[in-house]
Structure formats: C-alpha cells, structure tokens
Amino acid sequence: MLPFARVTILGLGLIGSSIARGVLQAMPTVRLTGYDADPAVRATADRLELCHDIADTAGSAVIDADLVILCVPVGAMAAVAAEFAADLPAEAIVSDVGSSKTEVARVLAEALPGATVIPAHPVAGTERSGPEAGFATLFNHRWCIVTPPEGADPAAVERIADFWRRLGAQIEFMAPDHHDRVLAITSHLPHLIAYTIVGTASDLEEVTQSEVIKYSAGGFRDFTRIAASDPTMWRDVFLTNREAVLDMLQRFSEDLSALQRAIRWGKGDELFDLFTRTRAVRRSIVEQGQDDDAADFGRAHD
C-alpha cells in the first residue's frame, strides 16, 4: 500500500521536479499537484508534464492533499506555509526538503498550528537549478534524514520514511539540532569555503579573470562547481543555521591556523599525517557508496 495517494509539491526547482519525476516513475498511481510562485516555472512544469495538475496558488494546490512537501528556500518556508494554512486538510502531513531543520521546524509549527509536520532533508542535489534540471534517480542510494519533532506520531513519521524509500533513498532519523550540526560540517561549511575561494580568486588584482579560468586545475574547478549552487538557497541556509555554521567555522579556522604554522615552519611530517587521514576519509565515502572512485571524478577525456 502506498504511503500517500495525493501529493502536492510546492516549489518546482531541482529538488521539487526530481521528486515529481520520481513519484511518476515509482508511484504512478499517486495524484500529483504542483505549484511554484514563479509563473514561468509553472509554465515550464506544465510543458514538461511534471504533475497531473499545476495550480495557480499555494492554497488551491494543497486543498485535497494528504502530503504537502515544501521545496522552497528555507527562508521562504514561513511565508509559503502562511499562504496555504487556511486550505490545508486536517489529516494532511506537511514535510519539506530544507538543509537546516531546527528553524524550519519552528516556523512551520508557528505557521501551521495543529498540523502534522514531519521535516526531512534529502541529502542530494547538483549545482543546477530549475524544473528542467531534475531527474527521477536523484535520490537513489542517497540519504534522506527525517527529523520529526518531539512527540511526533510514529505512523506519520513512518509514512514519510516510506515515501522517501520508494524514491530510492536510504533513511536516517535525527533530532533537528543534531542534523544541523552534522550538515554544518559536511555541507554548509564546504559551500562557504567554496564561495570564499572562488570569490578570492576573482578579486586578486594580479591574476586576471582569463588566467583564473584558463588555468583552473581540478581543485579550483571543483570549487567553482560547488560555488555555482543556488545563491538564494544557500543565503537562507547560512542565516537559518548560523549558530552551527559559526561553531564549525571557528573550529575550521583554528585547524587552518595550525596548518598555516606547519607550512611556515616546514613541518612535513605534520602535513603528511593530515593528508593521510583525509585521504582515508575519501576512501570511506567511496566504500559507503556516496561517490565512486572513477578516475578524475568520472570526467570524460578526449
């Protein structure tokens, strides 16, 4: 038996459109309704036939849903929830895909008093955005972290978990605050570093922009991929998870200072030990199926 019969997706960018494609493929009898605040996105979603219905308002999109998934930037969650609060069926479950969970859980609880809210975070994505960027297999063998609030209905939690399993995801359960600390170091801080490095390179007066682009080796090239991610989404992530990000940034700054001293004083053994430890982390990620070990990260070469 399917966990939900009528699913509404609010926000039809990369994640929302990938969920839609995944539902159509894995749960073809589910009735899908979509909505996006941007009329152009709605038109594209309609042309791509991402959903059975594309609504003109958030309220009309949720009116008969038994699952509503917010796929909007975390900074917009409260405003979007307020738009459909009056039309939300009493028995519906509300979830989301945001990368920070404590603040999302708080604003959704405030905007939707009495509603069943079970936040979740599929740890998957690309640097691309928009409804045409999605694909049905985005969540295959990726983790989806479900972060139910204290006292949540176990049956509702399991329905959300079952939904994501059917899209190919592996499920982990975490408290919202623990999730935010884990993602601060595994996702948020790396993005912040990438934005900083790419920004620093573009600001260097002695290196022209053409040289930065022309001589981009693998390392800098990979940072530019991360730094190409949706700026609205990541602005909101850093602001809504600021405490955990600042905590991890302080730890990183201390470690960076130690590395700086090792380079200055020629401590080769210290550098070698660090690089050996970090290489082992990479091997563990590959072994757990979260990436592959293809040469040059799977890049094609002529």
User: Residue 15, exposed/middle/buried by CB under 10 A (0-12, 13-18, 19+)?
Assistant: buried
Q: Which residues in the chain land under pLDDT 50?
A: 296-299, 301-302
Give pLDDT tens digits for 89-103: 999 999 999 989 999
Virtual torsion, Cα 173, 179, 183, 184, nearest 10 deg? -170
Cβ-contact 4, 94 below 8 angstroms? no
Give the domain ranges of the chain: 6-174, 178-288
Superfamily of domain 178-288: 6-phosphogluconate dehydrogenase C-terminal like domain (1.10.3660.10)
State the Cα–Cα distance between residues 117 and 64, nearest whole angstrom.
17
For 6-174, CATH number? 3.40.50.720
The CA distance from 222 to 103, in Å, is 30
pLDDT score, position 209: 60
What pLDDT score does 158 carry? Answer: 97
Determine the Cα angle at 239 with ends 191 and 170, to 5°. Answer: 55
Give the model's pLDDT for residue 65: 97
Length of the chain as a residue count: 302
pLDDT at residue 59, rounded to an integer = 97
Q: Can you give the pLDDT at residue 205?
A: 53
Residue range 117-157, pLDDT digits in tens: 999 999 987 777 889 989 999 999 999 999 999 999 999 99
Give the pLDDT confidence score for residue 230 in this predicted structure: 79
Q: Which residue has the tokens 């839609």?
A: 20
Residue pair 180/239 in contact (Cβ under 8 Å)? The answer is no
